[in-house]
Amino acid sequence: MRSAAATVTRVAQRVVVPSAPTPRGALPLSWLDRYPTQRALIESLHVFKGRADAADAEAPARAIERALAAALVSYYPIAGRLAVSDAGELVVHCTGEGVWFVEAAASCTLEDVDYLEYPLMVPKDDLLPHPTYPASDPLPEDSLILLVQVTQFVCGGFVVGFRFSHAVADGPGAAQFMTAVGDIARGHAAPLLAPAWGRDAIPNPPGAAVGPLPVPTELRLQYLAIDISTDYIEHFKARFLEQTGHRCSAFEVLIAKAWQSRTRAARFEPGSPVHVCFAMNARPALRRALPDGFYGNCYYIMRVSAPAERVSDASVYDVVKLIREGKKRLPTEFAQWSAGETADGADPYRITSDYRTLLVSDWSRLGFAEVDYGWGCPVHVVPLTNLDYIATCILVRPSAHKPGARLITQCVAADAVDAFHKGMMRLD
């Protein structure tokens, strides 16, 4: 295999600080930012082709590092550190200490490793920023807000690896920052959209419950990436329109298929409840309160539940209806949660390792696919997961040469992978 000899060498690491003086002091985080599971670094890989005319151009690592320093002037909280206030709450200390930046080189072309299509032909940790810290300053990584690695491939293409603190930004917020870096890398003096902190606009529900953290289990769920054609999606959308007189989205079709296929493959007992949970952007519900340029956490987790047989035995179109009904509940449920009025004091943000629960994320509309550092948009965005005992399904855009969609799943045990994949491929 050509990738067997592929190696990645980290040639430099340094801290990139804002290119101009920035404010100092502590900034409060919202209730959503402070939620216990947010204190994690979300990891992803962004694959870019090179340019034929790039011989005399600035190297990607240099361009991105320069733009990063400039973007941190307006996004100065990202150059700070997470800390706990005297009141015991998580805050951002705006210290201007900067973000970790790693420069690396790969010994192969992107084509040699199939542009990091599945399976990854380069270990993910080779492409993610894992700096080494001085023994005299063993900085805990959960205080960092951003780490970046740019890996140059011999073809001129490159991969940007991000580790971004979920406590400071959700998916749209992280993409907004990456877009700002791209704006400057392409020659703009400042981000085209000025950032705003605005955390006071996020509800702080009175007495809001915080459920327990997910409990690790011995079950190891299998990684599977599935490319979905445009024809497949349009088939189901057209049939749904015929049967109901309503239109549905690709997200609704694919999540309904994934939920049904894993319910069948896992063979849950009839009568046992199964759940699908998906994060919905709550910005529309707060449009009057949120300032333009807000990049903090602003989402709500919708839960749709049904007996296993209602999901496994129904037509996929009936499962789509369940998903759509759940999405319609967002304004009401988010308002109830904001007022501290959830049913039975439940915590809608709780993530569970219960095998009957599928956690879904939609990365296809976050903005990552539109980021441009001067070499065009990425040909591939690879979200990464670290907890292989939590059932997940992530919808992303496929590689540039594959129209349609891609599902990155880690949602069934090894003995159910084949049945799950076959179920996903069925056109009924």
pLDDT tens-place string over residues 131-161: 887 766 667 788 999 999 999 999 999 999 9
Higher-scoring residue by pLDDT: 195, 404 = 195
In a domain, 84, yes or no: yes
From 151, 178, 195, give the residue that closes a domain: 195
Is the pTM value of this prediction over 0.85?
yes
Give yes or no: residues 51 and 186 share one domain: yes
In a domain, 214, yes or no: no
Give yes or no: residues 186 and 245 share one domain: no
In a domain, 378, yes or no: yes
Instruction: Output the pLDDT for position 318.
Output: 97
Give yes or no: residues 45 and 136 share one domain: yes
Rounded to whole angstroms, what are the CA distances from 270 to 101, 123, 264, 313, 415? Answer: 51, 40, 11, 10, 20
* 372 is a catalytic site residue: yes
**Percentage of residues of the chain with pLDDT beyond 90:** 85
In a domain, 208, yes or no: no
201-238 pLDDT, tens per residue?
Answer: 999 998 888 988 899 999 999 999 999 999 999 999 99
From 160, 195, 230, give the residue that closes a domain: 195
pLDDT band for position 50 (50/70/90)? confident
Looking at the structure of the chain, the number of domains it has is: 2
Give yes or no: residues 236 and 148 share one domain: no
Q: Where are the beta strands (DSSP E) in 156-230?
A: 158-165, 222-228
Instruction: Output the pLDDT for position 120.
Output: 84
Q: Does the pLDDT value for residue 348 go beyond 60?
A: yes
Q: Does the pLDDT value for residue 257 go beyond 80?
A: yes
**Percentage of residues of the chain with pLDDT beyond 70:** 96
Q: What is the mean pLDDT of residues 87-99?
A: 96
In a domain, 207, yes or no: no
Give yes or no: residues 180 and 54 share one domain: yes
Give yes or no: residues 286 and 347 share one domain: yes
Q: Exactly one of 114, 318, 372, 388 is catalytic; which is it? A: 372
pLDDT band for position 2 (50/70/90)? very low
Give yes or no: residues 121 and 8 share one domain: yes
Residue range(s) defining the domain that contains residue 277: 222-425
* 235 is a catalytic site residue: no
Q: How many CA atoms lie within 13 A of 273 on its CB side?
A: 8
Give yes or no: residues 178 and 228 share one domain: no
Give yes or no: residues 36 and 137 share one domain: yes
Q: How long is the chain?
A: 428
CB-based contacts of 47, cutoff 8 Å, min separation 6: 110, 115, 116, 157, 159, 378, 379, 380, 381, 382
Give yes or no: residues 269 and 388 share one domain: yes
Distance, CA of 84 to CA of 92 (rounded, Å)? 8
Q: Which of 39-48, 79-88, 214-223, 379-388 has the lowest mean pLDDT?
A: 379-388
Give yes or no: residues 176 and 290 share one domain: no
Q: What's the CATH code of the domain at 229?
A: 3.30.559.10
Q: Exactly one of 166, 170, 362, 380 is catalytic; which is it? A: 166
- pLDDT averaged over the chain? 93
Instruction: Output the pLDDT for position 3.
Output: 43
Give yes or no: residues 77 and 158 share one domain: yes
